[in-house]
Amino acid sequence: MEEVVVATKHLADYRSIIGQAAYGELQAFSKKLKGKRIAHVNATSYGGGVAELLHSIVPLMTDLGLDVHWFVLSGTNVFFDATKTIHNALQGAPAGLTPAMEAAYREVNEANAADFHDDFDVVVIHDPQPAPFVRLVDHKGRWIWRCHIDLTTPNRSVLKLLQPYLQEYDAAIFSDKSYAPREVKFRKVVVSPPAIDPLSPKNREVTADERNAILARFEFEPARPVISQVGRFDPWKDPLGVIDAYRLVKQAIPDVQLLMIGSMAKDDPEGWLWFERTTRHAGDDPDIHFLTDLRGVGAIEVNVLQRETDVALAKSLREGFGLIVSEALWKRVPVVGGDVGGIRIQIENGRHGFLVSSVQEAADRTIELLRDADRRKAMGRAGYDRVRENFLITRYLRDHLRLYSELIK
């Protein structure tokens, strides 16, 4: 296992965004928890929403006086193949684990758990990768399983494999109440959707000089219509469907350009396969641009590229939450998203964007928005307000602090 070093953050910097009442509530929780030791454990420190959340809440908890540590697993290729299979199966894919995958999953967890000592008041285990820790580590503190996946239609064989572990946690956090499978007897279920950090490099305001310097590195033309999708190259994000929708849009609006923006995470071995499939599907279309961390696209670059987008796509087939939706709305960009669990949480259809269930519908709604600048602006403003009220990291931080207080008490 490896401990992650995080940047410094100060809650006071958020006060003007969230208001004095919310700021005071967080200060009150911090007084109850000052000095308490908290551990977070997950699979990777970069690439994906879980890492983004932890890079924000860990330093904010530290700023409030908690003693917080974040650890990531050390794993093998077979282990990450297994955990990706588990992830897909929990979201409904039919394939289960092979005996070799099960063995690797068990052995890597055992090896990592041997390095972890519970001298914490609260331990938060994120997603299936380290779920067995609860049975492999002697308990002292309260243990929480934070599930970032949509479990409404899980592969039953894989859920059954995890069930004995999940039932031993003191509490489980889901992004939506419907995600908690009934056959698992959780001791306590808490609903807390993820949230974005408005002051992170990906979401903060950018200067004109930053914008111009970053845009000069890329070949697309901001003056022409731009649609984009941000996210991993993953079958659940439907990147091939995004390109198909773009091609239908291009028949009606020939100047349109598509930005496929993503990163390659170490715990996602499928990412390279789907990146190759997506680039092959795009062919040699000069108006489809692949902008990834392989080309130096980090958080601030994603920020600028999202702000240059006219309509954001989030055409997921299954989505635990999808931070990219709130990220786009925060930048006042309407979103055409898949009509699935996590995106429904964020978008009210017709108010902040549109919920769609097919390639044709995605294209039709995108064309509609590209042709109506006034409606795009109105939806963008409504989306910004929705995120400010519901999906900022300070609300997510409050949810965690409240649960810690309840469990410790």
Residues 6+ apart with CB under 8 A from 78: 100, 101, 104
Residue 312 pLDDT > 90, yes or no? Answer: yes
Determine the Cα–Cα distance for residues 386 and 392; give it in Å rounded to an integer. Answer: 10
Domains of the chain, residue spans: 2-195+392-408, 208-390
Residues forming a β-bridge with 288: 258
- Asked whether 369 and 375 are in contact (CB, 8 A), the reply is yes
Neighbouring CB atoms inside 10 A of 114's CB total 11
Pick the range with the lowest mean pLDDT from 17-21, 163-167, 187-191, 268-272: 268-272
What the block records as the tokens of 256 is 């349109």
pLDDT for the residue 294 = 76
Determine the Cα–Cα distance for residues 174 and 295; give it in Å rounded to an integer. Answer: 34
Is there a shared CATH topology between the 2-195+392-408 domain and the 208-390 domain?
A: yes
- Grouping H, G, I as helix, E, B as strand and the rest as coil, residue 156 is helix
Residue 297 pLDDT > 70, yes or no? Answer: yes
pLDDT digits (tens, 9 = 90+) for 75-104: 888 999 999 999 989 988 888 889 999 999
Residues forming a β-bridge with 42: 72
- Asked whether 166 and 128 are in contact (CB, 8 A), the reply is no
The CATH class, in words, for 208-390 is: alpha beta
Determine the Cα–Cα distance for residues 135 and 109; give it in Å rounded to an integer. Answer: 10
pLDDT digits (tens, 9 = 90+) for 358-404: 999 999 999 999 999 999 999 999 999 999 999 999 999 999 999 99
pTM, two decimals, is 0.91
Strands (DSSP E) contained in 248-351 are 257-262, 288-292, 311-314, 335-338
pLDDT for the residue 147 = 95
pLDDT for the residue 160 = 93
Determine the Cα–Cα distance for residues 345 and 316; give it in Å rounded to an integer. Answer: 13
The CATH class, in words, for 2-195+392-408 is: alpha beta
